[in-house]
A and B are shown apart, each in its own frame.
Chain A
Amino acid sequence: MASDDKPHAERFPFGIVGAGLGVVTRQLPPDEPPPLAPNADLAVIGRPVPRQNGRAKVTGATRFTVDISLPGMLHGRILRSPLAHAEIHGIDVTAAARHPGTRAVLVVARPDELTGATLRYVGAPVAAVAAVSMVAAAEALRLIRVDYQSLPFVADMDEARNATAPPVFDAASAPAGYASGFPARLNLPLDGNVRGPATDGRGDTAEGFAEADLVVEGEYRTQVQTHCCLEPHAIVADWRADGLTVYMSTQFTAGVRHELAEAFGLPLDRVRVIVDGMGGGFGSKSTLGSYGRIAVALSRQAQAPVRLVLDRQEEQMDSGNRPATWQRLRIGAKRDGSLTAISLVSYGTAGVALGAGVGNVAQALYACPNFAAAQYDVFTNASPGCAMRAPGNAPGAFGLEQAIDELAERLQLDPLTLRDHIDPSPVRREERRIGAERIGWRRRHAPGADPGPIKRGMGVAQSLWGANVQTNSACEVRVMRDGSVEVLSSVQDIGTGIGTVLAQTVAEVLGLHSEAITVRIGDTEFPAGPPSYGSRTTASITPPARAAAWRVLRPLFREAALALNAAAEDMAVRDGRILVRGDSGRSIDFRDAAARLRTDRISAVASRSDDYGGFRWRMADAAQARQDLGGVQFAAVAVDTETGVIRVERVVAVQDCGRPMNPLLIESQVQGGVLMGLSYALFEERILDRHTGRMVNPNLEQYKLAGACDTPAIDVVVLENYQANSATDAYGIAEPANIATAPAIANAVYNAIGLRLRALPMTPAAVLAALGKFPARS
């Protein structure tokens, strides 16, 4: 066995299982566990282990933040702007403060502060109270008198682009950085309400288009989608003389702890953030947020714990959203399909925030020597957007993948054949092969070929997402003297089942069952874990979990070797026993080995090592692997050409996430991604009243989410793709699974009716309009 305190070469499994699995030799950094075999040779990793907290969730035993109740706890509530654009000339909170139930009152938009006095969207926080009950808090809020002066506003992106549109910001107050999305750039020029362009390019597109035999061109629109977390944004803030404890439904406990320390001038060791059960985040619970800051300030003022929970209307109106976009794509190609140029211009609006670009699919999905993109953000008087499951690439793929579909048709090529020619990714090539077979692509007919009013069609679309890593992710593994094992990290389970995956990882190393591992996560008392956004949780936290487990195993091996009169290097684990490799007759129970320890426990903390193959880039604690995560989805639809109703009958999703750690959990995430993509494609839309800028459907009744009856058969296939990059070689799946669904459905609709729907959502009204069934009106 090689010594592990120095870097040394090791042979790793490499490539796609079933499509050329090979071996690669890489330098293994010091103190890293040896290469992990492919899943077929493992006992716990790669098995469909049911999530550990599944039973608690379905029986209602899980404690969500809204279930936290502390002695003396108060209830917070936020007063929000009724106007889309207004200046506050005065706020009178005396009556609210005098309400018998009131314990704290906070003015959020202070008239005497230059930046806080202007409200720029309906729902912007104005003031807040903490009171002894939710009813008292609501009553007290109604007693606050605000002197608003209404200002002209613009809520529509196209109108906001006009030079004559009311300015949402002036140059001094406009945000300069990015809120989310791609491409992320700082300090771009501002012209009226338009910030940008963020440009990207290579080669010379003018030359590229000149060389093209054929050019397709199209404009695509996507709507604002809201996150619709089943569990609302919620926080319980408990400010005490000796420190602050915050219970919060958050995607990043460690990050919120940092934000709190900074915002309230506290040392890190006086701030603790805890989350147990979580009902989704999808990007909207990534930071402390204004509601979080308000709850803590109220708790500090009242000297009592404060619970603040957004109601569904607040969720819909001000908890983030996926920005709306408009994009124009031009693609030039040779007769054989080779791409000669791609140009992209996009405008998007994240309301008063930035980050409404359409990502990097046009730039990176296909081989094309000449590329130019100019992406703009447009400010509107609407609530701030934020990251939402595959920001940028989800709307971007809706445009690009339809344009590629159109190109294939114009070239008289099968869409898969064209992609085989222009897509350099071996991963997606394999995924196309598998998916085409599953959906029965050979049965696909010419567009609009079905007789009768109901027309069926099949479509395909592809995705690309960066394989993200948070390098400062740490995990601790403890073995107690009785042989019990704990894994600890501040990493949070936002619903994906990461706790179960950690238990599997540790159990694999120690030769135990995953149920034998106690998982303690979601608490900043433990080593800081990664955020659960950017699909980086599994990629960041499972390698240190394996490394930490491997490090605690070494002293146990020494004890076992002494007991068995063997050498520590010859020890191995299996089924709860430590044994001499090649001589299974000589073994000791894992617990008996632990009982020989001199301390009550042994423990090791490990952090994420760099990818063994190096990163593509690194910025502070975030990094990206060299290879992207590819996905291909196929959809089969039925379109009723008389009612305009689209029904998705089947989706085949073939995805890559490196090493699949737990196929059961991955499958449920992919199903969630497909469902969210379907809902984006057909139903969801934030609708703002054009005359007041207020959302008219701020609920889950008129804001339409796909439900059980709208769910197609979803066939999930996950590749096993080894890249020799970390102790587990695992990457994310959440966002990749959400990108290709909408364009796959749109392409299937085209195949069904021979008409291209270039705007989302594809409602019956949109289909009937495309079919020319009623006279167009402005």
Chain B
Amino acid sequence: MNRFTWATARTIAEAAAAASTIVADAMTALPETAGPGDGTIVKAGGIDILDLLKENLLVPARVASLRDIPDLDAIVEEADSGCRLGAMATLAGLAAHPLLRQRYPAVTDAAGESASPQIRNLATLGGNLLQRPRCWYFRAAEYRCLRKGGGNCFAIPGENQYHAIFGNRPCAIVHPSTVATALVALGATVDLIDAEGAVRRLSLEDFFLPPERDLQRENDLRPHEILTAINLPPLPTSARMVHLRQGEKDAFDWPLADVAVLLDLSPEGICRSASIVLGAAAPVPHRAKPAENALLGKHIDESTAGAAARAALAGATPLAKNAYKTPLFEALIRRALLKAAAPIVKERG
């Protein structure tokens, strides 16, 4: 870890003014020239930043803390009965929020099953969405891979058991955020504010950038922008949602696969709309469109859920060591759909 100076931002404007450098940009400098330039990066919970600092992957001149900005962690119900999640809300705070648990259980489940209790107490929603990927080559200073501005991907020909099965060329990271899987499924939007106070609002799905759009950044955050909030849209009372995660271990581990589904079912149990998103599957939260289409107008049962799950995986392009993810995702999608539809199935039965 290098020496850097520390600043505490008291307002969003102060933070945005300070935030001259995007972490991704700071990490693409050549190793020989890497050194504290004059950039400032921002820090929320610091879980990801600290990991990068310790590995010397990130050598900032200045670090500005967001933790003293008032109310940035607020979780509020909007007039339209949507919900606004402050960027500095912690994963633990999200997981324990009664209103969220009642109205958006996929979000509380995804937050509550991430990482470990200690990490969830510090990790913030904003930092979680903006954290860098966990590809083990990316995380080792010895490998200057494509995502760090080098010429090769080491994972595709190398050790790729935890890598992507969709959209995995030329870089095969999986998006690291578990909450993002649920948020994208719900159609959440993100608010970004610059130093002048201008707000940029875009859908979270569009905010994330796949390698073909940007090989070095996972999202569209720009210098001098602060992510201030995530907005959850209001949902019809008939909406049902589920998030399922499967890791090798039950805590202190990353998902091998996670799935979020949002269904709108008619009183007869017919699927009017479906949103199915896969986490740990692709460089961005992966929208399983073929599966969504397969469900429209259908009752959800073992057979339609299974067919949708197979449709979701039809386009997968697994690497040498991660083909096991295909049946794993199929099982999780099927289970998530059946769980989401369960009460209706019961009423009919």
Contact = CB atoms under 8 A, between A and B. Distances in A.
B236 interface: no
Given A689-B159, A710-B250, A773-B327, A764 B3 contact: no
A645 B159 contact: no
Contacts of B6: none
A697 B246 contact: no
B328 A764 contact: yes
Contact of B157 (A683, A691, A702): A691
Contact of A775 (B161, B249, B250, B323): B323
A709 B328 contact: no
B331 interface: yes
Nearest to B2: A135
A778 B318 CA distance: 12
Interface string B1-37: 1010000000000000000000000000000000000
Interface string B119-162: 00000000000000010110010110000000000100111011
A707 interface: yes
Contacts of A774: 318, 323-324, 326-327
Nearest to B322: A765
Contacts of A682: 248
Interface string B318-342: 1011111011101110010000000
Interface in B161-180: 161-162
A696 B157 contact: no
A569 interface: no
B256 interface: yes
Nearest to B136: A696
Interface string A688-708: 011110101100011010111
A interface, by DSSP: helix, strand, loop or mixed?
A: loop
A642 B257 CA distance: 13
A704 B248 CA distance: 9
Contact of B161 (A692, A765, A777): A765
Nearest to A778: B320
B18 to A, nearest CB: 25
Given A706-B249, A710-B249, A82 B326 contact: no
B289 to A, nearest CB: 22
A518 interface: no
B253 interface: yes
Contacts of B198: none
A643 B331 contact: yes
B158 A689 contact: yes
A663 to B, nearest CB: 30
A769 B140 contact: no
A682 B328 CA distance: 17
A600 B320 CA distance: 75
B314 interface: no
Contacts of A135: 1, 3
B171 to A, nearest CB: 16
A696 B331 contact: no
B327 A696 contact: no
A287 interface: no
B251 interface: yes
Nearest to B324: A765
Interface in A136-161: none
B10 to A, nearest CB: 30
Contacts of A404: none
A603 interface: no
A643 B136 CA distance: 24
A43 interface: no
Nearest to B329: A643
B56 to A, nearest CB: 9
Nearest to B328: A643
A769 B326 CA distance: 11
Which of B158, B248, B253 has the largest count of A CB atoms less than 10 A from its CB?
Answer: B248
A15 interface: no
A683 B249 contact: yes
Contact of A690 (B140, B158, B249, B256): B158
Size bracket, chain A contacts: 35 or more
A763 interface: yes
Contacts of B252: 701, 707
Contacts of B327: 642, 644, 768, 773-774
A687 interface: yes
Contact of B328 (A82, A694, A768): A768
B247 to A, nearest CB: 9
A691 B330 CA distance: 32
Given A642-B327, A643-B328, A697 B249 contact: no
A708 B320 contact: no
Which of A643, A701, A708, A775 has the largest count of B CB atoms less than 10 A from its CB?
Answer: A643
A82 B158 contact: no
A153 to B, nearest CB: 15
Contacts of A707: 249-252
B30 to A, nearest CB: 15
B140 A696 contact: yes
A764 B324 contact: yes
A709 B161 contact: no
Interface in A746-778: 763-765, 768-769, 773-775, 777-778
Interface in B71-108: none
A31 B320 CA distance: 68
B246 A645 contact: yes
A677 to B, nearest CB: 16
Contact of B324 (A687, A702, A704, A769): A769
Nearest to B320: A777
Which of B158, B161, B326, B328 has the largest count of A CB atoms less than 10 A from its CB?
Answer: B328
A116 B69 CA distance: 56
Contact of B159 (A82, A644, A690, A764): A690
A683 B248 contact: yes
B324 A768 contact: yes
A250 to B, nearest CB: 27
B4 to A, nearest CB: 12
A749 to B, nearest CB: 15
A706 B330 CA distance: 26
Nearest to B141: A82
Contacts of A702: 134, 136, 162
Interface string A622-655: 0000000000000000000011110000000000
A453 B327 CA distance: 13
Contact of B251 (A643, A709, A773): A709
Contacts of A683: 248-249
Contacts of A687: 159
Contacts of B249: 683, 704, 706-707, 709-710
Nearest to A646: B248
A702 B55 CA distance: 15
Contact of A763 (B137, B248, B320, B323): B248
A694 B3 contact: no
A82 B141 CA distance: 11
Contacts of A691: 154, 157-158
Contacts of B331: 453, 642-643
B324 A694 contact: no
A768 B140 CA distance: 30
Nearest to B256: A764
Which of A135, A696, A710, A774 has the largest count of B CB atoms less than 10 A from its CB?
Answer: A696
Nearest to B135: A696
14 contacts: A642-B331, A644-B328, A682-B248, A694-B140, A701-B134, A704-B248, A707-B250, A709-B249, A765-B321, A768-B324, A773-B324, A774-B318, A774-B326, A777-B318
Listed from nearest, the 8 A-B pairs whose CB atoms lie closest are A709-B250, A642-B331, A765-B324, A773-B327, A696-B136, A709-B251, A774-B323, A768-B324
Interface of B: 1, 3, 134, 136-137, 140, 142-143, 154, 157-159, 161-162, 246, 248-253, 256, 318, 320-324, 326-328, 330-332, 335
Given A643-B331, A707-B249, 16 more contacts: A642-B327, A644-B324, A644-B328, A645-B248, A687-B159, A689-B158, A689-B159, A704-B249, A704-B253, A709-B249, A765-B322, A773-B327, A774-B324, A774-B326, A774-B327, A777-B318
